Amino acid sequence: MGMTTTTLIDNGILKQHLIDPEICIRCNTCEATCPVGAITHDDNNYVVRADVCNGCMACISPCPTGSIDNWRTMPLARAYTIEEQLTWEELPPELTSDELAAEGVAPSTGDAAQPSEAAPAAPMEPGTQTFRSAQYGATVPPWSAAHPYTNLFPPRKPTTATVVGNFNCTEAGFESETHHVVLDFGNMPFPVLEGQSIGIIPPGTDALGKAHHARQYSIASPRNGERPGYNNLALTVKRVTTDHDGNAVRGIASNFVCDLKVGDKVQVVGPFGSSFLMPNHPRSHIVMICTGTGSAPMRAMTEWRRRLRSSGKFEGGKLMLFFGARTQQELPYFGPLQNLPKDFIDINLAFSRTAGQPKRYVQDLMRERAADLAALLRDGNSHFYVCGLKSMEEGVVMALRDIASEAGLEWDAVGAALQREGRLHLETY
């Protein structure tokens, strides 16, 4: 079955889908979510192709800032082009009734209701259509998740945090470098939950003289602070020194953050995220699947569960971690992971570039643990979180599908339930 869509064109009149460049934080969630490839970007803006967008609304809920939920009634012949949208610093105003009338649009059309959110995509029959992993990702939180606060500080009105810690959480002396950075908000309330993110605005301007946009980073600490009872949080940030093609490049925000010193001030926006949240049910099971800095929310969830356990509020919910990196030396938090009690968390590590060893990825480990994962898939208290590189997403979801099918479960039903109940979350980039 295909995805339900909303009619955007009626009698030559387009309800054009636009992204607000003022509050967009360039997190790539919309582009990664769009099932038809209608969203693209350059170094300045994220934009929607009017000739491709089918009104499926898949991108609306995952957007952390709400920047994507904007619409303009336009004569089809005057639709804003991609080239125009890429230059915008703010959304254009709605056309007036007189402007619409001059284009032959009835005045009432401009007041038409915005497209409503479509029903979630129905799972496809394996082997009958192209497998699309994103359709199984939930856009709602688990029923027992705590209430998140979002957008307390928008890009126009950031708050200030002070750096109180910054250390390399990968093995020193290797090319890959990932930092654990702790930010303190002082007396400014900044409530966060595990799975949320913040944006950091790098100082200075780009090549065009415009202020840098905020860059999004997942929070790596639990809700009561990196240090319990303190108004602080931690981030896991990899220093970017090459682009996706391996060419030398110095990431603006990542290098700024990795080079921060204790006492430095940073501009912060957010928090963001209202669905990638952990369950509060004390007997819920959590399966965490990640690569690289995708470990940040997993560290937050694990640490919160560890603190609950130490306080006697942990009632036996299982924790299972599948963590992938090129080498052990590049794996963030490798040392602390080894110190976690084995009866608390089931840790499975995959390394794809260990000399003399075959390449192993997280989905390979998942298949090796098929019996345990099948049991968890049968349990309605199980929640699955995937975070890391976009390239891992399809392999992970296909592994879940295959594990379910081999265990005699109907993946169509299982996958639909995981999505509907907020129990399979995909956050890849």
Cα diameter, the chain: 72
Whether residue 389 is contained in a domain is answered as yes
Task: Please tell me the distance from the alpha carbon of residue 382 to that of residue 284, in angstroms, as a whole number.
Answer: 6
Per-residue confidence (pLDDT) for residue 390, from 0 to 100: 83
Task: Please tell me the distance from the alpha carbon of residue 333 to that of residue 317, in angstroms, as a whole number.
Answer: 23
Per-residue confidence (pLDDT) for residue 408, from 0 to 100: 97
Question: In the structure encoding, which two tokens stand for residue 381, read together?
Answer: 């208290």
> Does residue 1 have a pLDDT over 50?
no
What is the average pLDDT across 171-196? 90
pLDDT in tens, 202-249: 999 888 788 888 999 999 999 999 999 999 999 999 998 876 667 778
The DSSP secondary-structure symbol of 364 reads H
Q: Side-chain half-sphere of 286: how many Cα atoms within 13 Å? A: 36
Q: Using the 3D structure, point to which of 242, 272, 302 is the last residue of a domain.
A: 272
Q: How much is the mean pLDDT over the chain?
A: 87
Per-residue confidence (pLDDT) for residue 173, from 0 to 100: 61
Per-residue confidence (pLDDT) for residue 101, from 0 to 100: 80
Q: Examine the domain organization and report whether 282 and 205 are in the same domain.
A: no
Residues belonging to the chain = 429
> Does residue 129 have a pLDDT over 60?
no
What is the average pLDDT across 401-426? 96
Whether residue 362 is contained in a domain is answered as yes
Q: pLDDT category, 425, cuts 50, 70, 90?
A: very high
Q: pLDDT category, 124, cuts 50, 70, 90?
A: very low
Q: Examine the domain organization and report whether 176 and 295 are in the same domain.
A: no
Question: How many independent structural domains does the chain possess?
Answer: 3
Q: Examine the domain organization and report whether 204 and 340 are in the same domain.
A: no
Q: Examine the domain organization and report whether 287 and 267 are in the same domain.
A: no
Q: pLDDT category, 120, cuts 50, 70, 90?
A: very low
The more confident residue out of 116 and 151 is: 151
What is the average pLDDT across 153-166? 95
Task: Please tell me the distance from the alpha carbon of residue 193 to that of residue 198, in angstroms, as a whole number.
Answer: 11
Residue numbers of the domain that contains 13: 9-111
Per-residue confidence (pLDDT) for residue 97, from 0 to 100: 83
Q: Examine the domain organization and report whether 297 and 400 are in the same domain.
A: yes
Q: Using the 3D structure, point to which of 214, 246, 272 is the last residue of a domain.
A: 272
Per-residue confidence (pLDDT) for residue 172, from 0 to 100: 66
Q: pLDDT category, 364, cuts 50, 70, 90?
A: very high
